[in-house]
Amino acid sequence: MLTDQSSWQARRAAHEARVDEWIVPHLQRRRRGEKHPVLDFLFTYYSFRPAQLRQWRPGGDPHKRPSTVTWVRDLLAATAARPPHLRCFGLHEWAMVYRQTQDELRHNAWPLRLGPTGTDAVVEASRIRCSHFDAFRFYTAPARSLNLLQPTRETQTANEQPGCLHANMDLYKWSYKLSPLTPSELIADCFELAVAIRTLDMQASPYDLAALGYPPVQIETADGRAEYTRRQRDLSDRAAPLRAALIAVCDTALTSTVTP
């Protein structure tokens, strides 16, 4: 039978080995000065550094502001209570490059599959309904008026829904924002989901990343839209228990703050 010390040491070793699958290649690329248009996002857009992701904590540490926990819990619970809205086809990524030249693109080392003109035509022929503010805020200026919604930071809790790739990818953000309440294994679960979501996000984007090992999901075709929707639904299903687990972390913390 494992002692308490040997138990947490085993958990720590398992966690470190698990996250090293992503951390080690990232650090190797960074040392070589290589940019990765898919995976860098998980270490640059999100503020949790590789060393923080690798650090194991058992969770349950109550030293967290109740106001932060309450805000995160309200957002997660409101999102979970809504039906998933699918079939957005990842058009937010297309709106982020709408009417841009190659030099202006965020990932300008990689070409657009359909070229600038073809990309703009897909945007203009589509019904774009992005509900996620942190995707919408990166739209190009001429693309913003094409979105059926105009999400803001203030309406985030009212808008987010569980079919949204970015709302589900952000479970990683909320997991580490709640640290040290969150067990590191749950943070790693959310990170692993974020990797899968980011992969679909960029496969369905207008960029041609096939040479990097990311064959496109051609959302401008019927087959591509069907594949996107199927994978989006699968990712939403994977996100649901993680969202529930984070809500439970919040509830435990909030209960402990009011218990005499």
Supply the pTM of this predicted model.
0.94
By CB neighbour count within 10 A (0-12 exposed, 13-18 middle, 19+ buried), where does 243 fall? buried
Mind listing the pLDDT tens digit for each residue in 11-48? 999 999 999 999 999 999 999 999 999 999 999 999 99
Strand partners, 107: none
The pLDDT of residue 260: 42
Residues 49, 218 contacting (CB under 8 angstroms): no
The pLDDT of residue 3: 54
Strand partners, 147: 128
3-state secondary structure the chain: CCCHHHHHHHHHHHHHHHHHHHHHHHHHHHHHCCCCCCCCHHHHCCCCCHHHHHCCCCCCCCCCCHHHHHHHHHHHHHHHCCCCCCCCCCHHHHHCCCCCCHHHCCCCCCCECCHHHHHHHHHHCCCECCCCHHHHCCCCHHHHCCECCCCCCCCHHHHCCCCCHHHHHCHHHHHHHCCCCCCHHHHHHHHHHHHHHHHHHHHCCCECCHHHCCCCCCCCCHHHHHHHHHHHHHHHHHHHHHHHHHHHHHHHHHHHHHCC
**Rounded CA separation 107/40 (Å):** 11
The pLDDT of residue 63: 74
Q: From the CB of residue 246, how many other CB atoms can be counted at a distance below 10 Å?
A: 26
The dihedral of CA 22, 28, 30, 35: what is its sign? negative
Give the mean pLDDT per block of 10 residues along the chain (260 residues). 74 96 97 97 97 95 86 98 95 97 93 97 96 96 96 96 98 96 97 98 98 97 98 98 98 74
- Neighbouring residues of 224: CB distance < 8 A, sequence distance ≥ 6: 204, 216, 217, 218
What Rg do the C-alpha atoms of the chain give, in angstroms?
A: 20
How many percent of the chain have pLDDT more than 90?
A: 92
Closest CA to 95 of 229, 224, 205: 205
